[in-house]
Each structure stands twice: as C-alpha cells, then as structure tokens.
Amino acid sequence: MTRAIVERVSAPVVADLDTGYGNAVNVMHVAGAYARAGVTAVVIDDKTFPKDASLLAGGRQELVRVEEFQGKITAARAAGGGHDLLVVARTEALIADRGMEEALKRAYAYSESGADMILVHSKQKTPDEIVAFSRRWRGETRLVVVPTAYPDLTEARIREFGNIGMLIYGNHPMRAAVTAMGQVFAAIRADSGIHNLDKRIVSVEEIFELQRVPEMKSIERDYLR
C-alpha cells in the first residue's frame, strides 16, 4: 500500500513507524522496507513496544532508555542511507509526564545520534508546552509538531517560532472520513433513499479516474489480443 501511495502522489510521503516494532534490528528491517518503497521520511518514537496511542486516556506511556533509542536512530539511518531517507525522532517525554528537562535532554541526544528532525508531542489542550519547548530549543535540528490536541495552534503562529520544519495533521483525514460516512448514512435514512444525497457526493466516474481505469482501458486496447 505504501508503494502505491508513493506512486500516486507528487508530495513527499512521511511514514509513521510507531516504535519501529521492536528493537534496533526490527527498526532496520522496517525502515529499509519503507525506504525501498519510496517514502521520504520515517517517524520513530521512544516508547516501549507495544505502545498505546499518545492521546489515549489512561494509556501506557513508558519510554525506552535514551541509549536504546539512539541505537534505533542510527539503525534507521543505516537502513535508508542509499535512499536519502529522513529519520524523524519523536520524543514522548511530555506525553509520559517526564517534564520539559527530560524532553530536551532526549531531543538533544537524538539529534546528536543523527536524527534529521525532532518531533515533540504534547497531550495538553493548549500549545503551551510546545511553545515552551520551541523557545528553549537551541539545536540546529528542525522540530516537528503534531497539533492534534491543541488545534488553535495555527500555521501563522508556528512560523513565528522559526525552528519548526514540519507540521503533521496526524488523524484528521481519518476523522473526516468517519464524519462524512456518518453524515452520508444519516442522510440516506432521513431521506429514505439516495435521491438527494447522490447530487452532493463525487460521481462514480471520478472514482474511476482515481483508480486509473481510463489508463487501464488504454492498456487493454493496446495489448490485449
């Protein structure tokens, strides 16, 4: 699926590898596979495996040792070296309530180990922790922000920080799809049919275009005997 996505979009593809699914050996295997599939960057976080989602209430938010995660970073870089793969090291220190000093310590250690970017996350409902981290960050490595829990942090404000290199809208496409499907089926039930809804959604022909059906039919005409 990842290779199919890479082939169909012109924008760089960033893959979230969670913890890398195990130790540094697992990270090398999976990072290499994603690099060969053509992704531009992989994100790996410093939680233990298996992990709970960062924003899961009452979730398990345990971190691996700094040295262990440094090994994962170097393994990912070695796996993707021939493919210009960017390695984004994500620290969950703020998520795990380990405090700002721990988050900064880990971020500097990961940067020194070769991480191309540092992702720092927060579960607070305001961006205060992220703003504070950005202001205290003195490393040359650019930061990555995922403002899921604090949606009022706008792109204009982020640009003012001067050290944020990437902004990830992590789960909004999936949430939007769930929202749209709920609205569609509610409309069908309310109208007792699709006669009104059908005019408001994309056509079947547009779906065929996304599936590259015209290209497939052209190949059929040229090569089927």
What confidence score (pLDDT) does residue 88 get? Answer: 98
Residue 101 clears pLDDT 80, i.e. is over it: yes
Segment 5-9 shows an average pLDDT of 87
Residue 107 clears pLDDT 90, i.e. is over it: yes
Residue 64 clears pLDDT 90, i.e. is over it: yes
Residue 51 clears pLDDT 90, i.e. is over it: no
Determine which helix (DSSP H) or strand (DSSP E) holds 179, and give its type and residue range.
helix 172-191
More confident residue, 187 or 82: 187
Segment 77-90 shows an average pLDDT of 89
Burial (CB < 10 A; 0-12, 13-18, 19+), residue 203, is exposed
Residue 84 clears pLDDT 90, i.e. is over it: no
What confidence score (pLDDT) does residue 83 get? Answer: 75
62: pLDDT confidence band, cut at 50, 70 and 90? very high
Give the span between the Cα atoms of 60 and 198, in whole angstroms: 44
Among the residue ranges 83-87, 97-101, 199-203, the one predicted with the least confidence is 83-87
Question: What digits encode the pLDDT tens for the residues 195-223?
Answer: 999 999 999 999 999 888 999 999 999 99
What confidence score (pLDDT) does residue 56 get? Answer: 78
Q: Is the dihedral of CA 167, 171, 12, 32 positive or negative?
A: positive
Residue 9 clears pLDDT 90, i.e. is over it: no
What confidence score (pLDDT) does residue 61 get? Answer: 85
Rounded to the nearest 10°, the torsion over CA 196, 200, 201, 204 is: 70
Q: Indicate the average pLDDT of the chain.
A: 93
Single-letter amino acid code for the residue at 115 = A
What confidence score (pLDDT) does residue 129 get? Answer: 95
CA distances from 50 to 23, 37, 97 (A): 11, 24, 19
Give the span between the Cα atoms of 94 and 84, in whole angstroms: 30
What confidence score (pLDDT) does residue 162 get? Answer: 94
Domains of the chain: 2-169 (3.20.20.60), 175-223 (no CATH)
Give the span between the Cα atoms of 89 and 86, in whole angstroms: 10
Q: Is the dihedral of CA 102, 108, 110, 116 positive or negative?
A: positive
Burial (CB < 10 A; 0-12, 13-18, 19+), residue 216, is exposed
Question: What digits encode the pLDDT tens for the residues 135-169?
Answer: 999 999 999 999 998 999 999 999 999 999 999 99
